[in-house]
Amino acid sequence: MIKPLLSLLLCVSALSVSAQPTVSVGRGGITAEMLQQMRKSHPTTSADRALRNALAGTSINQLATQANNPDATDRHFSNEVPSKGITDQKSSGRCWLFTGLNVMRSQMIRQYGLGDFQFSQSYSFFYDQLEKSNLFLQAVIDNAKKPMSDQLNDWLFKNPLSDGGTFCGVIDVVSKYGLVPADVMPESYNANNTSRMANILSLKLREYGLTLRKLSAAGKKSAELEKQKLQMLGTIYHILTICLGEPVQHFTYTLRDASGKALGEMKTFTPQEFYKEYVGNDLKQTYVMVMNDPSRPYHKTYTIDMDRHSYDGLQWTYLNLPMEEIKPLAIASIKDSTMMYFSCDVGKYLDSNTGVLSLRNYDYESLFNTQFPMTKAERIQTFASASSHAMTLMAVDLDKEGKPSKWMVENSWGASSGYKGHLIMTDQWFDEYMFRLVVDKKYVPAQTLELLKQSPTKLPAWDPLFAGEE
């Protein structure tokens, strides 16, 4: 009886094994043999086990932090533009707006001897969101005859509205709507926390975009579509007033110096009048935007489709220069006590505790026993790096030969963030992760300005370098 029973058990076992599902691996898939080879290629060592145990309870950056990094303690700067007051964009993507306004307020503080003066970010943001809404709706009208699958239409409906942007948005909004002091239209919860408002506005804009396309398909002419657009914008304006408040049209104000003394009599202004009296310069003619993109030819100009904040706004031209030609512009501006709009890939190698951006902050190579050799050009081409954040460039440390060793920016993350509200970056980090600089034309050599006369190469809205700063 034992042998038949054993035979039966063996048969059942065989059937069970044969009943196991087999995994079919198509061409290019991971096979069992490949998995085995992977396991053998990096046999687990005692050091690996120690690292694995450490990472179970801590972050990669904490474990990769380089001890005794000298970059974390050097805070001397040979040339620094005086600054008063750190702004805070809170939970919003308005860094571009804070930075642009901080450039202008720095000039105003210096000229009039002011204390901690700020322009109203909320006022400018209101009109930025309204103008961007119109930009989207008008672009939908312009492209209504193209299918939804068209790449531009696809991009439009994926990106109907954003609180991110670039300096051209500052120019568009300020030139058209002027400026008001911060205490005339202060920040609100939804100005500081923009995500829910943005979701609601984007949902409404997508709905309106589809409506406009349906009307176009039904044979409605452009005049009728734009009439519908105006009604739609009325609703957008209403939502914005509920979230941000009604933007002021007139206000009474006088500037006060650092001691609190009034500088003249109280006066009633429109926002446009206030801008003309205290800032005054034509922003469109004052500045040039230079960029560093080694994936494209230098000394060429570029523009990008939809790279503006208003439909009738400035289509910015970018001048691509090597770093050795950008740095002298920045140094000249700082030496003349003039801050600049500056953007970079701020998340790379940032030690948020010290406020230092240094390639020596984290040793990922030793932690994972591999290299990360991609160049700046390769990182741009593969979407591994792009401009992500704008700040105000305001200091440089020059050695005895006049070459920069480090830079400092005034940030908009509050006074407790980083180094007293600032970030310090080594010159090596600057080379790798700086992308854009807006500089007054008076600091730019004539032969460089001549390059702006070129007919710019137009790039699509989805180009990897031109994501808006947040």
Q: Which of 102, 153, 168, 389 is catalytic?
A: 389
Q: Which of 153, 309, 411, 422 is catalytic?
A: 411
Active site residue 361: no
Q: How open is the CA angle 338-413-389, to the nearest 5 degrees?
A: 70
The β-bridge relationship of strands 356-357 and 422-426 is: parallel
Q: Which of 69, 95, 134, 168 is catalytic?
A: 95
Active site residue 411: yes
Query: Nearest CA to 339 among 443, 450, 448, 451?
Result: 443
Contacts of 138-147 with C-beta under 8 Å, sequence gap 24+, read 138/226, 138/229, 138/311, 139/306, 139/311, 140/208, 140/209, 140/212, 140/213, 141/212, 141/216, 141/222, 141/225, 141/226, 141/229, 144/212, 144/213, 144/216, 144/217, 144/225, 145/216
Active site residue 299: no
Q: How open is the CA angle 420-421-424, to the nearest 5 degrees?
A: 85
Q: How far apart are CA 150 and CA 213, in angstroms?
A: 13
Q: Catalytic amino acids?
A: 95, 389, 411
